[in-house]
């Protein structure tokens, strides 16, 4: 598996950072928690202080939580959402159904409410694949999620969105 290290040194500065909500599934808490904590650390290092973490029953519930948070954000305080979860392929179609609906729902929320929704919900065939993406090293997907959020927030502000 080819791994890419995310370069955080060139991330844009965010003036007047707003709020970022991190949504995470309660399944596989060691993996999800590692990605979430890494993401939080990077966001704080880049000026974000108003971070809130919501733990939900599973990945299928992430889209509703995202839509609810954004729908109730009339003042536009939320700069973006970051979602973490792990979905492991089993012997039924549950994997496909949950993965597809989670991704569709998060995409719908992003487009409807016009705010970045960064998705690091890992659909994997073996739990070891998720563990590798949440390890305590420079390949942790929390880095990628934080960088993507900061880059999208800066870009949107640069085009007046």
Residues 61-112 pLDDT 10s: 999 999 999 999 999 999 999 999 999 999 888 999 999 999 999 999 999 9
Q: What is the rounded CA–CA span in Å between residue 45 and residue 81?
A: 17
Establish if 85 belongs to a structural domain. yes
Establish if 24 belongs to a structural domain. yes
Residues 6+ apart with CB under 8 A from 22: 36, 39, 40, 51, 52, 53, 54, 81, 82, 83, 84
Establish if 12 belongs to a structural domain. no
Residue 54 catalytic? no
What is the mean pLDDT of the segment spanning 154-161?
95
Q: What CATH number does residue 94 fall under?
A: 3.40.50.960
Establish if 2 belongs to a structural domain. no
Q: How many domains does the chain have?
A: 1
**Domain encompassing residue 112:** 19-158
Assess whether pLDDT exceeds 80 at residue 39. Answer: yes
Establish if 121 belongs to a structural domain. yes
Establish if 60 belongs to a structural domain. yes
Q: Determine which one of 44, 94, 104, 112 is catalytic.
A: 94
pLDDT of residue 3: 76
Using 50, 70 and 90 to split pLDDT, how confident is the model at 1? low
């Amino acid at each position: 598996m080819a791994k890419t290290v995310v370069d955080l040194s060139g991330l844009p500065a965010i003036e007047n950072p707003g709020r970022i909500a991190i949504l995470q599934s309660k399944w596989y808490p060691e993996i999800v928690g590692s990605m979430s904590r890494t993401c939080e650390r990077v966001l704080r290092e880049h000026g974000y202080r108003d971070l809130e973490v919501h733990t939900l029953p599973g990945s299928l519930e992430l889209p509703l939580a995202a839509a609810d948070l954004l729908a109730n954000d009339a003042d536009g305080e939320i700069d973006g959402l970051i979602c973490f979860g792990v979905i492991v392929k089993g012997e039924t179609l549950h994997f496909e159904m949950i993965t597809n609906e989670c991704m569709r729902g998060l995409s719908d929320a992003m487009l409807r409410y016009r705010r970045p929704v960064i998705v690091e919900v890992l659909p994997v065939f073996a739990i070891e694949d998720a563990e590798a993406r949440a390890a305590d090293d420079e390949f942790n997907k929390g880095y990628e999620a934080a960088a993507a959020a900061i880059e999208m927030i800066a870009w949107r502000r640069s085009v007046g969105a």
